[in-house]
Amino acid sequence: MADILVYVPGIGKPAAEVLTLARTLGDVSAIAFDDRAADAAAEYGAAKVYRVSADGADDYFIDPKATVLIDLARKVGPAAFLLPGSDEGKALAARVAIGLDNGLLTDVSGIDAEGTATQDIFAGATVATSKITKGFNLATVKPGAVATEPAPSEPVVEAVEVTVAEADKRVRIAVRVDEPAGDRPGLAEADVVVSGGRGVGSSEDFALIERVADALGGAVGASRAATDAGYYPHKFQVGQTGTTVSPQLYLAAGISGAIQHRAGMQTSRVIVAVNKDADAPIFGMSDFGVVGDLFQVLPQMLEEAEKRG
Amino acid sequence: MNIVVLVKQVPDSGLARQLDAGLRVDRSGANNVMGELDEYAVEAALQLKEAHGGEVTILTLGPDQATETIRKTLAMGADKAIHVCDEAVAGSDALATSKILAAALGRLEWDLLIAGAESTDSGMGVMPHLLAGRLGVPALTGARSIEPDGEGVKVEHQRDNGYDVLTAPLPAIASVWDTINTPRYPSLKGIMAAKRKPVETLTLGDLGIDAAEVGGEAATTEVLTATDRPERSAGQIVTDEGEGGRALAGFLAAEKFI
Ligand SMILES: Cc1cc2nc3c(=O)[nH]c(=O)nc-3n(C[C@H](O)[C@H](O)[C@H](O)COP(=O)(O)OP(=O)(O)OC[C@H]3O[C@@H](n4cnc5c(N)ncnc54)[C@H](O)[C@@H]3O)c2cc1C
Ligand SMILES: Nc1ncnc2c1ncn2[C@@H]1O[C@H](COP(=O)(O)O)[C@@H](O)[C@H]1O
């Protein structure tokens, strides 16, 4: 079978997505820079793991990893090379494209063994199929687009020892600041996302959105109008310039449904909206909607849920 | 600090957009605007110039009508612009675009290049790293702040669960998200001044690039088909007359979410 290279990030869902898709194309050789990534490769069916140790690589941005990926791609000559559609994945894919003068597709939601890929374009309004006509099938996978499925394997592990070149040490990661995730599930990983928009009106009132999220075991999201107004931190923004989510349930409260917001949530399985404007575009894509004041509707919903609970 | 800002003209993302008969982004409409994140890149450059001196040059690759976007950047306060405009560019893929932009950048003296984190049409989010790869210049992408750092530059690189402070020597490439600033509107005075600012138009020949290396024929990717996504149809919409919350709970229970 064809060799499929995969860059596996050390974080759960994106790793699982890219590995699950890669498995359908051929024998997967995973590139792992840490143990978490190597474990994910074994959990999701890789035949081989390149376990890279590059002393000090973690202190620098993109370049050390890019060099390793370019070298491995050149050595392996894969049929396809898939990376997650994160900022890091796209940056690495761009470096590989330049390094090997190879075509590149970004944000594919699927790709077959012939290399025909599907892509959502124009914030998801259009679905395109496309392919690479020069080189191997180099693509980044859109977050949330692949239904993940474990397939434990016992991959052959090949250790790759690398010395980071001086030229790759120019962009230093001087400080890492992790903001505490809290008790709720991560936005991109959650099965339920409850988002508030400008209609929530204040940061205090976002407590209601949090209560609904907690009652449904979900994550809290926000529209850009809400994050811009300071009602909720920016990292919770859903949409084109925020996180793309694809949960089982997306509940939008006080959100009009602008195209840039829809870009980040329209592939959710069930969409529910509460908005006092019957003409809000969000209703056009909702499976269930309540035209009404979110401060009436949501507390009553919570009360009723508790009764049923 | 001399700064070049990469600006692309795109169809307005708030309106309906489509591919043309040749499966390329339809740019014929009147609704073309500056790449929405590129406005933040221009603003970031202007703020750096205002605080630390230097010159801001705009670089655009695009058709004739992209001059409207260039005028807007000059009206915001950029000093001059380079417009690479050549019919042979039509249909270029990201690799060819980066080759042309790299050639144009090779003719300029610059310390810092600032781009949008992604364009709002093709939205690939790869151009800064394609250029970094081609030019061998360090890239600090996805910035929510940019400031000088001694002889170099420092950015806060935005992540989902926090941020990283990145530092690098100049020249360097940065790209920005919309968290970095609030772009200014051009003032009337700015609009008047823009009319006198220099815009240099370059062809592929001026850059020493053979037309056969770029454009649709040389593209390394091909769009095969494009279909409108079936609109999600609206389901049941109820108006709250005192029972809306209970109706919502009923729906969520039927779907087994509660
Ligand atoms: C380049 C670019 C990128 C962008 N990226 C994103 C992005 O990633 N994510 C994003 O969300 N947006 C993004 N936007 C912004 C987007 O265009 C909209 O401005 C934004 O989504 C609007 O947020 P909203 O729906 O909360 O606010 P509004 O559009 O103001 O809607 C508020 C809604 O709340 C309703 N409402 C008010 N009070 C109540 C109440 N008491 N009860 C019930 N309903 C009430 C109103 O009827 C209204 O429909 C982007 C824009 C640009 C140009
Ligand atoms: N044709 C172009 N002319 C000038 N700048 C561009 C062009 N294409 C892309 N860019 C810049 O690169 C950024 C990222 O673009 P992209 O990789 O296409 O998403 C944009 O926000 C622009 O700053």
CATH of the domain at B10: 3.40.50.620
pLDDT at B28: 77
Sorted by where each begins, the domain ranges of chain A are: 3-168, 192-307
Same fold yes or no, A3-168 and A192-307: yes
CA dist., res. A68 & res. A161, Å (int): 10
β partners of residue B5: B58, B114
Measure B72 CA to ligand 2 centroid, in angstroms.
17
pTM: 0.91
> What residues of chain A lie within 8 A of the CB of B126, using their CB?
90-91, 93-94, 97, 104, 106
Per-residue pLDDT of A37-63, as tens digits, reads: 999 999 999 999 999 999 889 999 999
Query: Would you state the CATH architecture of domain A192-307?
Result: 3-Layer(aba) Sandwich (3.40)
Selected residue of A13, A70, A90 to mutate for chain B interface (largest B Cβ count, 10 A) = A90
Q: Do residues A245 and A238 make contact, with C-beta atoms less than 8 angstroms apart?
A: yes
Whether residue B172 is predicted with pLDDT greater than 70 in this model: the reply is: yes
Whether residue B65 is predicted with pLDDT greater than 90 in this model: the reply is: yes
Full domain range(s) for residue B25: 2-218
Predicted confidence band of residue B121 (pLDDT cuts 50, 70, 90): confident
Q: Do residues B130 and A66 make contact, with C-beta atoms less than 8 angstroms apart?
A: no
Tell me the pLDDT of chain B averaged across its residues. 94
Per-residue pLDDT of A178-199, as tens digits, reads: 887 778 888 888 999 999 999 9
Per-residue pLDDT of A145-155, as tens digits, reads: 898 999 999 99
Whether residue A121 is predicted with pLDDT greater than 90 in this model: the reply is: no
Q: Do residues A111 and A40 make contact, with C-beta atoms less than 8 angstroms apart?
A: no
Q: Do residues A218 and A185 make contact, with C-beta atoms less than 8 angstroms apart?
A: yes
CA dist., res. A10 & res. A35, Å (int): 8
- Cβ contacts of B192 within 8 Å, gap of 6 or more: none
Mean pLDDT of all residues in A190-213: 97
Pocket of ligand 2 (CB under 6 A): B 6-8, 35, 37-38, 41, 59-62, 97, 115-116, 118-119, 122-127
Give me the amino acid identity at B43.
E
The ipTM estimated for the assembled molecules is: 0.91
**Residue B248 is assigned to a structural domain of this protein:** no
Query: Would you state the CATH architecture of domain A3-168?
Result: 3-Layer(aba) Sandwich (3.40)
Selected residue of B121, B154, B240, B256 to mutate for chain A interface (largest A Cβ count, 10 A) = B240
Mean pLDDT of all residues in B214-225: 94
> What residues of chain A lie within 8 A of the CB of B17, using their CB?
122, 125-126
Residue of A nearest to B25 (CA): A122
What's the domain count of chain B? 1
Mean pLDDT of all residues in B60-78: 96
**Alpha helix positions (H), chain B:** 36-52, 67-76, 94-106, 127-135, 188-194, 215-218, 244-254
- Cβ contacts of B2 within 8 Å, gap of 6 or more: B54, B55, B57, B109, B110, B111, B112
Per-residue pLDDT of B23-47, as tens digits, reads: 888 887 768 899 989 999 999 999 9
Per-residue pLDDT of A229-279, as tens digits, reads: 999 988 899 998 888 898 999 999 999 999 889 989 988 999 999 999 999
> What residues of chain A lie within 8 A of the CB of B222, using their CB?
130-133
Predicted confidence band of residue B14 (pLDDT cuts 50, 70, 90): confident
**Residue B234 is assigned to a structural domain of this protein:** no
Contact B124 A127 (CB under 8 A): no
**Residue B236 is assigned to a structural domain of this protein:** no
**Residues B173, B222, B201, B197: what is their CA dihedral angle, to the nearest 10 degrees?**
-50
